[in-house]
Structure 1
């Protein structure tokens, strides 16, 4: 009888996770092998030039550099604050004496016993906490870039454009991971009302992510040869 109550949860929820994990593995492969077909790869390519351009003329562009980095920090701060507030709310619900299964007593599909409902809340809490963790680390790296990018250029200075680019890339990557974890919490939130909604949400998010992550048209993309090597421009 217990299997009949939770077999949809056991099948559909892991299948939804497998679907989105497979998509992100494919995206990671494309970013590594064909970066200019993805927005992540092109943005990373542009950030490398941006750091070099800012440091080359930092006396005139210091306000632009700091303002741009501050906007990135504000975005990560907003997401981190939202994640930790939701985590605190979920923690209060789980630890309260009020039965967490009362809001879903009328669930039609899937199990809604005390253990299963607690598992749903704990999964939500875990995802939001990891999202907060990634955004917090992103803020740390972006703050370092914001400070070091205005350091006067000196032959003895160890703060180079490559070093700042690496810090900026780490901050941007952590921000992207934190956002994707935050989005993954949406299907888990729907899991409270049944596993069918979880799978449908995961399945609908994949084409949305694909349209956002991949570049359908090669805008301004061509190949030039320099010293016998081909590069994308």
Structure 2
């Protein structure tokens, strides 16, 4: 009898998680092997060039560097604040004496037991907390870059452009991981209303993220430009 109530949760939710994790493993492999075919790889290359440019003409561009890093810190701070506020709200719901599952029993498919409802909220809370942790660490690394990028360059110093680029890259990687955890909480949030929505939301998010993460290669762009030029010439 219990299996009949939760078989959708056992099938749909892990399947959605497998699709989401599989896509991000593929994206990680793509970034490692073909970085210039992804937004993440191109942005990482651009940030390294940006650090070198700021350090070469630091006397004129130090204010620009600080302002650019400050804008990034503000974005991470906003996401961290949102994550911790949602975590606080979920913690209040979990600790509340009011049974949050009562209004949903007749409106959702899947299991409605006390354990399953607690699992849904605890999973969602965990994602938001890890998102907050990643954004907090991202702010820490970018704050370090904010100071190091304006230090005088000394041939004997350990603060080299490569070191600053590495610290900045760690900050942006943590920022990206925090954002992806925050996005991944959306299917889990819909799990409250049923496991079918988890799978549907996941297979909808993957194509959207794919279009945001992958870019055309230069060869494809060249072919498109040549085709347009040949068409105009004809």
TM-score (norm 1): 0.92
Which secondary structure state, in structure 1, belongs to the residue aligned with residue 218 of structure 2?
coil
Summarize deviations over 1:105-161 as a string: whole Å, max 9, x none: 223311111111111000000000000000000000000000110011122322110
More helix by share: 2
The CA distance in 2 between the partners of 1:220 and 1:68, in whole Å, is 32
Match of 2:166 in 1: 166
The CA distance in 2 between the partners of 1:76 and 1:115, in whole Å, is 34
Match of 2:3 in 1: 3
Structure 1 residue 218: deviation in Å? Answer: 2.6
The CA distance in 2 between the partners of 1:77 and 1:110, in whole Å, is 37
Once superposed, what is the RMSD of the aligned Cα atoms?
1.4
Q: Contact (CA 8 Å) 1:80, 1:136: kept in 2 or not?
A: yes
Summarize deviations over 1:69-93 as a string: whole Å, max 9, x none: 0000000000000000000010011
Match of 1:75 in 2: 75
Summarize deviations over 1:39-74 as a string: whole Å, max 9, x none: 000000111110000011110000110000000000
Q: Contact (CA 8 Å) 2:130, 2:178: kept in 1 or not?
A: yes
- Mapping of 1:25-174 within 5 angstroms? 25-174=25-174
Structure 1 residue 103: deviation in Å? Answer: 3.2
The CA distance in 2 between the partners of 1:41 and 1:220, in whole Å, is 17
Structure 1 unaligned blocks of 5 or more: 223-233
The CA distance in 2 between the partners of 1:173 and 1:219, in whole Å, is 27
The CA distance in 2 between the partners of 1:53 and 1:158, in whole Å, is 19
The CA distance in 1 between the partners of 2:64 and 2:103, in whole Å, is 50
The CA distance in 2 between the partners of 1:182 and 1:108, in whole Å, is 24
Structure 1 residue 220: deviation in Å? Answer: 9.9
Structure 1 residue 221: deviation in Å? Answer: 7.7
The CA distance in 1 between the partners of 2:141 and 2:86, in whole Å, is 24
The CA distance in 2 between the partners of 1:2 and 1:182, in whole Å, is 31
Say if 1:219 and 1:199 are closer, same or farther in 2 by CA, change over 3 A. same
Q: Contact (CA 8 Å) 1:5, 1:110: kept in 2 or not?
A: yes
Q: Contact (CA 8 Å) 1:187, 1:199: kept in 2 or not?
A: yes
The CA distance in 1 between the partners of 2:219 and 2:174, in whole Å, is 27
The CA distance in 1 between the partners of 2:216 and 2:160, in whole Å, is 35
Q: Contact (CA 8 Å) 2:12, 2:195: kept in 1 or not?
A: yes
Structure 2 unaligned blocks of 5 or more: 223-234
Pairs aligned (count): 222
